[in-house]
């Protein structure tokens, strides 16, 4: 299907943002040939790149009209000052992709805004180890805004933001995104599946943030990940608010070695492993007002953290999968607090407040709340929780079980067991 520039010019003007007049906004139409395909049968990736470069240089918004655009994994390079309005536009990666890459790449840039648009892949046709992201932010980037995107069927992250310890990405907001059926394939711990060669941890997570400071992920639906729903690694001062994280192959909400991250008003349902993991030296993190239900393993696994607040959540019938045969594979409580076998942060498990939660547990689960208080455990307070279902046990074990305080938990059955030996330690280092 082909269309003339003059006809689409009318569409472009009609689709301008209300905050910008026609003369302020560049349109991709001005960079396309006079007669252009509208159905993705012809690639205009070169023309799109020219338009992005021109708009960024002039600090003007760029309108990408609602057409189908065929792109490849070499990607469109975003520049500092890029502002794209892409509502109704579809960026299509075909089944012939054979290399790693991304559709949009922001490398060491500032003041980038992406609004709208669909990125569609073919992970059903790509070979294992081909890792393609939707939006890839890296380097010393800052002030990044991503909103209203729909990203699906890719083989790496929908949105991946990757800084470094020396040069974190700063000030990132991802909002109102829908990301479905992306990421590499991650085998369940007890399955006979094989790992996908050529992929790495960075390919896990529909939204993945590594070394990101001052961030917000808000109002997104993240569904059907082939690995984890999210992964936040060494991130600081963040808010994860009002998201729906459903049916990931493995975990849902995942913080690793993060500081001062608040998660609230999120819903995690039917994720294949842990609904929520907060671990490996995370400090001063708050998890409040969330619903975690029907996870394959714990609703919350929280080892090796300091200053953890877990309040006013609903944990309902998590731990659907059976425990494994090994002592460290006891993972079907609604909430588990312990020390992992392998913790690179070498952090204690200290100063937790678990309060005012509603916890519904079945008789197939080992406990409503399980605390294995190892030698580096202290200051664990569990109070005011409402326990319902067939199993209302708070199970406390380990040599430092005296550092666990329980009080005023409605309908709770407190069970304190003898200290576990190192050989029996049920802690797990797996997410």
**Averaged over 222-229, what is the pLDDT?**
99
**Averaged over 240-257, what is the pLDDT?**
99
Query: CA 217 to CA 174: how far, in whole Å?
Result: 5
Domain membership flag for residue 28: yes
Domain membership flag for residue 47: yes
Write down the pLDDT at residue 6.
40
Write down the pLDDT at residue 7.
38
Domain membership flag for residue 41: yes
Domain membership flag for residue 340: no
Q: Which two tokens stand for residue 225?
A: 């990940």
Q: How far is residue 251 from each of residues 60, 211, 222, measured CA to CA in Å?
A: 40, 20, 12
**Is residue 327 pLDDT above 90, yes or no?**
no
Domain count for the chain, please give it. 1
In this structure, are residues 136 and 108 in contact, taking their beta carbons and an 8 Å threshold? no
In this structure, are residues 216 and 241 in contact, taking their beta carbons and an 8 Å threshold? yes
Q: Got the DSSP string for 298-356?
A: -SEE--S-EEEEEES-EEES---SPP-SSGGG---SSEEE---S--TT---EEEEEEES
**Per-residue b/e over 365-393, b at no fewer than 16 CB within 10 Å?**
bbbbbbbbbbeebbebebebbebebebbb
Write down the pLDDT at residue 22.
55
Domain membership flag for residue 95: no
**pLDDT tens sequence across 372-401:** 999 999 999 999 999 999 999 999 999 999
Looking at every residue in the chain, the average pLDDT score rounds to 93
Question: Considering only 43-47, 185-189, 210-214, 302-306, which range has the smallest mean pLDDT?
Answer: 185-189
Domain membership flag for residue 200: no
Domain membership flag for residue 58: yes
Write down the pLDDT at residue 426.
36
Domain membership flag for residue 227: no
**pLDDT tens sequence across 114-161:** 999 999 999 999 999 999 999 999 999 999 999 999 999 999 999 999
Domain with 11, as residue range(s), is 1-63
**pLDDT tens sequence across 65-79:** 999 999 999 999 999
Tell how strand 2-4 and strand 35-37 pair up: antiparallel
Residue 240 binned pLDDT confidence (cut-offs 50, 70, 90)? very high
Residue 1 binned pLDDT confidence (cut-offs 50, 70, 90)? low
Percent of the chain with pLDDT over 70: 91
Selection from 277, 295, 422 nearest residue 359 by Cα: 295
Write down the pLDDT at residue 13.
40
**pLDDT tens sequence across 337-369:** 999 999 999 999 999 999 999 999 999 999 999
């Amino acid at each position: 299907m082909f269309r003339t520039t003059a006809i689409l010019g009318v569409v472009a003007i009609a689709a301008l943002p209300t905050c910008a007049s026609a003369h302020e906004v560049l349109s991709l139409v001005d960079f396309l040939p006079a007669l252009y395909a509208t159905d993705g049968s012809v690639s205009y990736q070169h023309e799109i790149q020219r338009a992005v470069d021109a708009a960024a240089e002039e600090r003007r918004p760029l309108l990408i009209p609602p057409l189908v655009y065929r792109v490849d994994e070499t990607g469109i390079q975003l520049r500092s000052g890029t502002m794209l309005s892409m509502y109704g536009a579809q960026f299509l990666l075909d089944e012939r992709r054979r290399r790693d890459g991304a559709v949009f790449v922001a490398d060491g840039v500032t003041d980038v805004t992406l609004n709208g648009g669909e990125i569609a892949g073919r992970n059903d046709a790509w070979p294992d180890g081909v890792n393609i992201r939707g939006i890839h932010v890296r380097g010393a980037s800052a002030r990044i805004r991503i909103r209203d995107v729909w990203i699906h069927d890719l083989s790496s992250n929908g949105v991946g933001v990757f800084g470094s310890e020396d040069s974190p990405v700063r000030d990132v907001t991802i909002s109102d995104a829908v990301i479905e059926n992306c990421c590499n394939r991650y085998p369940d711990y007890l399955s006979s599946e094989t790992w996908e060669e050529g992929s790495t941890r960075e390919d896990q997570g529909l939204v993945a943030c590594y070394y990101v400071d001052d961030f917000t992920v808000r109002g997104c639906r993240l569904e059907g990940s082939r690995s984890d729903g999210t992964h936040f690694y060494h991130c600081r001062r963040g808010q994860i608010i009002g998201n729906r994280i459903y049916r990931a192959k493995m975990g849902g909400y995942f913080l690793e070695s993060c500081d001062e991250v608040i998660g609230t008003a999120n819903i995690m349902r039917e994720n294949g492993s842990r609904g929520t993991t907060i671990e490996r030296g995370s400090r001063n993190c708050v998890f409040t007002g969330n619903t975690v239900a029907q996870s394959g393993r714990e609703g919350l696994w929280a080892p090796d953290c300091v200053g953890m607040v877990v309040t006013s959540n609903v944990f309902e019938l998590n731990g659907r999968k059976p425990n494994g045969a090994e002592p460290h594979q006891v993972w079907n409580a609604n909430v588990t607090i312990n020390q992992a076998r392998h913790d690179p942060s070498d952090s204690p498990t200290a100063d937790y407040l678990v309060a005012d939660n509603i916890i519904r547990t079945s008789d197939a689960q080992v406990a409503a709340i399980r605390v294995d208080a190892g030698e580096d455990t202290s200051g664990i307070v569990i109070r005011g929780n409402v326990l319902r279902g067939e199993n209302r046990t708070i199970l406390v074990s380990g040599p430092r079980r005296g550092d666990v305080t329980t009080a005023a938990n409605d309908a709770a059955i407190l069970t304190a067991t003898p200290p576990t030996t190192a050989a029996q330690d049920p802690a797990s280092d797996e997410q």
